[in-house]
Structure 1
């Protein structure tokens, strides 16, 4: 196995938080238990996905508010909140509130673009303004400004018995430096860098100058850092699906391999009009996965990761995968658990 020139500094994981429509509490409780387990195993961060009108986490900020009260150390992130569903002013209030409750552990990740399946939901989401809503980078800029303390109202002061602020309250110092942009293109990487955000690069990218996933991801990291005030020190987190099998049962290994095999065809070439490239899921022993990561051009440029848990597995599977990541794969990458 090739040696890393520098140990992995931060190890995180990402979950979609699936639930049964007939028993949604059980699924949400499972997600909270998984986050608590992540803290016990020494992970640096836990991240949740965002799903609307599906059977996954529709309100990640609310879920992370609950997680903040069941944990004390692990960082809590969103990967990512699609801002087309959000009012930046209201979201800034929610993020700041949860950050205060967590003791400054929130890492909000966001993205832009029209909501998924917009034609089917626009009349419910924006009944009066659907055709004039701006889903571009200005929406992120508004959120950044509010979180970083820019004015949200024309005046502040006392009116009768009420005291008003011209800034989002509460203000949470440091939150503005912990905002992440989830980008899949060179343009997004450049914008995130120019605006001083952190950068999330995941298992889905746009094929622009290459059809090699690792090369594409590498180009995004380089573009981001080339335009960020912190240059090479700018934070980038890589998210890939990794499934270590060190302690898996024979039945689990069979299921994991079948899952990856079913998803492999989409990784061979760009998909759809947007020419999206998907990374291969990495299944095998921790030593095998570590070797493949060290050969990955994108991985070699990052110091932190948020490995994604597969969508459709059970709670016991996630426990096994997380335990192997923390006790086998992480150490194989030079990482040391916190605590």
Structure 2
């Protein structure tokens, strides 16, 4: 029998928000409807991914501003905003504004690293400073300082009829404690802990040199090592917040046609889970498909899941609106209770 998991405290989901380039408004509306559904089903949080120059949400903060006005209770998160595309000061202003509009429900998740396909986009993104931009942790630290109210200038006071602040405005109390870092590696987990952030884990981990032993690497144990390293360095220790974001596809109420498509989707993605992929040596977790009872059994046997009490289960990228309705309904009414969280 697997060791006992932590009681599941927060049940969330993550969507990429795909849309048709010929009708982008409908795709964004679908995302908002899914978030509204999540609140009605009793989910604790809804998270959106971030995609640039693709047919997915490019402006999650704007989407969540809209979602904040169509919901009242559910927490709203980004998983994640790649900071290589952002100015930390401007982003801090946007995040605080949306947090205030939502009544303190925003959970911004960020990551570092150069923008995807940087050599091909840098002239459009940073035409004058492309070779001087720092895409490391310093960019996150700046954002944290701005959100947490550190001065950004030595000037404040009144000039004519205008009043100036030396801090980013608006300031939203509590937002600094709801900043998340999305990391796949051990170094990122340690950094996030040392800087008092929360940790977003997902279905991807980086296989470090000392973990690249003969035989198939163990995703769950690698992820567990990240969680423990994060908490060892976090001021809150074992109480530091960690959310896990595996892909789960419960089929309890799925039609035969849906189950067939879901199984085909998982089968096509499974080969990449057998070994580390690419120069970064990324290891993907298998998608979890089956009845809620079957998925719960696999999760309780997952070494990393047993040490978290928050989840943001990822919805498959390419499914349709009706598929998401079925999956979310099964997660809320069947999988959640099977994991120890009462049904809504």
Distance 2:289 2:139 in 1: 38
- In structure 2, the partner of 1:224 is 230
1:256 alignment partner, one of 262, 273, 296: 262
> SS of the counterpart of 1:32?
helix
> SS of the counterpart of 1:218?
helix
> SS of the counterpart of 1:76?
strand
Say if 2:298 is the partner of 1:280: no
Say if 2:192 is the partner of 1:192: yes
Shift of 1:152: 1.2
Is the Cα–Cα contact under 8 Å of residues 6 and 308 in structure 2 kept in the other structure? no
- Output one character per residue of 1:231-252: Cα deviation in whole Å (capped at 9) or x when no partner: 0000000000000000000000
- Output one character per residue of 1:191-234: Cα deviation in whole Å (capped at 9) or x when no partner: 00000000001001101143210011000000000100110000
Shift of 1:153: 1.4
- Classify 1:298/1:2 alpha carbon distance in 2 versus 1 (closer, same or farther; 3 Å): closer
1:303 alignment partner, one of 302, 309, 317: 309
In the comparison of the two structures, how many residue pairs are matched?
A: 338
Is the Cα–Cα contact under 8 Å of residues 19 and 55 in structure 1 kept in the other structure? yes
Distance 2:313 2:151 in 1: 37
Is the Cα–Cα contact under 8 Å of residues 4 and 333 in structure 1 kept in the other structure? no
Shift of 1:2: 6.2
Structure 1 unaligned spans of 5+? none
Shift of 1:158: 0.3
- In structure 2, the partner of 1:39 is 39
- In structure 2, the partner of 1:125 is 125
- In structure 2, the partner of 1:66 is 66
- Classify 1:5/1:266 alpha carbon distance in 2 versus 1 (closer, same or farther; 3 Å): closer
- In structure 2, the partner of 1:18 is 18
Shift of 1:174: 0.1
Say if 2:195 is the partner of 1:163: no
Is the Cα–Cα contact under 8 Å of residues 296 and 335 in structure 2 kept in the other structure? yes
Shift of 1:7: 2.1
Shift of 1:6: 3.6
2:247 alignment partner, one of 224, 241, 247: 241
What TM-score, normalized by structure 2, do the two folds share?
0.97
Is the Cα–Cα contact under 8 Å of residues 257 and 283 in structure 1 kept in the other structure? yes
What TM-score, normalized by structure 1, do the two folds share?
0.98
Distance 1:212 1:118 in 2: 31
Shift of 1:4: 4.1
- In structure 2, the partner of 1:153 is 153
> SS of the counterpart of 1:108?
strand
Is the Cα–Cα contact under 8 Å of residues 2 and 291 in structure 1 kept in the other structure? no
> SS of the counterpart of 2:54?
coil
Aligned CA-pair RMSD: 1.0
